Amino acid sequence: MAAPSALILECEECGEVPHRVLSGRVGGSDSVVFQGTVKCSSCGRVRSVTVREDRPLPVPIIVSDGTESVRGTIEFGPDELVQVGERLDFEGHHIEVTAIESEERRVPASKARNVRTVWAKRVDRVRLKISVNKGNRTVTHVLDAAPDEEFEVGDIVDLGRERAVIHRIQAGGRALRRGSVAAEDIVRIYGKIVRERTSY
C-alpha cells in the first residue's frame, strides 16, 4: 500500500491540521500502520510519527439510479458511523444513504462493523418527468438534469425531435406558474409543444 500524500494530525503548535507526508511507509496486517516524516501545513514543523488505523471494512451497498440498481461494496473504518441522509462518493458519483440494515432490521445509523447492507441513491443527477400537452393527449417525457440546475416557467426544453415550453412546475406541495425551481425540488414539469414555424 502506497504512503498517503497528507494526513490530518495533532500539531503541538497549531492543533489538528493537515500534515504533508515527506517520506514514509505503510505496513501492518490487522491494522494500517504508517511510519514516516511529516510537515505541518500551518507552522512548518517537521517530525517523525507512527499512525495506526483500523483497516477499512468493505460493506455491501445497493445504489439506485432511476429504475436501475447497482450492487457493490464501499469501504468504511470499522467504528465509522454510517447515517441515513449522509452523502458519500461511490465509483465517481455522489450518492445519498437512504436506508441501513443492521442485525436484520432497518436503523437510522450504525457503526460500519454492524452494517449488513447500505441502500443509497445517486444525487449527482435527477430524472425529471415532464408532461407535455399535444392537443387532446398528454405524453410524458423524462429529462436528466443536475440537482442544482434551474428550470423556469417560460423556458423551452428540448425533447429530441420536439420542443416544449414550460407553463407549470410542481414543486413539493405547490404549483408554480411563474419563477424558477432547482431540479432536485421538482416533482413534475408541465409543458406545451412549441409549434415550429418554417419560412421559405
Residue that is written with C-alpha cell 417560460 in the block:
154
Q: Does any domain span residue 20? A: yes
Q: Where a domain ends, among 18, 39, 54?
A: 54
Cell of 167: 407553463
- Say yes or no: 138 and 171 in one domain: yes
89-94 own/partner pairs: CB under 8 Å, 24+ apart: 90/61, 90/63, 90/120, 93/63, 93/122, 93/124, 94/122, 94/123, 94/124
This model's pTM is above 0.85:
no
Q: Does any domain span residue 178? A: yes
Closest by alpha carbon to 126, among 142, 141, 149, 146? 146
Q: Does any domain span residue 200? A: no
Half-sphere exposure of 134 (CA within 13 A, CB side): 11
- Say yes or no: 186 and 135 in one domain: yes
Q: Does any domain span residue 104? A: yes
* Segments forming the whole domain that contains residue 139: 126-193
What digits encode the pLDDT tens for the residues 73-109? Answer: 999 888 889 999 998 988 888 899 999 999 889 999 9
What digits encode the pLDDT tens for the residues 34-80? Answer: 899 999 988 999 999 998 887 888 999 999 987 789 999 999 888 88
